[in-house]
Amino acid sequence: MSDRPLTFLSITGSLRRGSYNAAIARALPELAPDGIRIIAAPSLRDIPLYDADLQAEGFPAAVTALGDAIRAADGVVIVSPEYNYSVPGVLKNAIDWISRLPDQPFAGKPLAIQSASMGVLGGARMQYHLRQIFVFLDARILNKPEIMVGQAQNKIDADGQLTDAGTREFLGKQLVALAALARQMAG
C-alpha cells in the first residue's frame, strides 16, 4: 500500500456558494502531495431530512451514492463551518443517514477534519462535536495536525481562491499525515 496512489473524498458541510469552507475543499486537490488524489463528494443538498419512515421505503439515491463514495475512498476529509457552536444541520443529517447504511461506510475509515470561519477560533467547537460523532461511528480520526482556519476572509480572495501561503502549506501537511494514517491502517 505504501506505493499505491490514494484517493481521498472531501465532504463539505456548507451549501453556500461563497462558503470559505467550500473554497478550502476546492483547493485540496492542488495541495495534495504526489500519489494522493482528492475528489469531491456528491453534494449534501439532495439528501432529504432523516426520517425512519423514508428509510423503511429504501435509502434515497443521494445517500447510497455518498455511502458508496465513502467506502471507495482511502480516506475522508470533512471541511465544515461551525453553526451555533456545533455541526451544521446539513452535515449532521448526512452523517445520520450514512450511519444507517449496511456495511457502515465510516467504520475504520481514516478521516481528517478541517474548518474555516471569520472568527479567530476557526470552527474549533464544531470539530470537537464532530470528533464525538465519529467516535461512535468508529472512524479513525487524524489527531494532528488540526486545521482550523481563523479569519478566513483574509486568506481567501473574492474569487474564492485560497491565497494564504501558510494555510496552503499547513493543509498540505495534514494531507501527508492523513496519507500516512491510511497507509499505516492498510499495511
Kindly report the pTM of this predicted structure.
0.95
* Topology (CATH level 3) of domain 6-186: Rossmann fold (3.40.50)
pLDDT at 153: 95
CA 148 to chain CA centroid, nearest Å: 13
Q: Of 26, 13, 27, give the one whose Cα is nearest residue 130.
A: 13
pLDDT at 1: 47
pLDDT at 3: 75
Query: Domain residue spans in the chain?
Result: 6-186
Output phi, psi for 156, to 5 deg. -125, 130
pLDDT at 2: 64
Burial 47-79 (b: 16+ CB within 10 A, else e): beebeeeebeeebeebbebbbebbeebbbbbbb
pLDDT at 47: 98
pLDDT at 122: 82
CA distances from 184 to 1, 88, 143 (A): 9, 31, 14
Per-residue pLDDT of the chain (187 residues; tens, 9 = 90+): 467 899 999 999 999 989 999 999 999 999 999 999 999 999 999 999 999 999 999 999 999 999 999 999 999 999 999 999 999 999 999 999 999 999 999 999 999 999 999 998 889 999 999 999 999 999 999 999 999 999 999 999 999 999 999 999 999 999 999 999 999 998 7
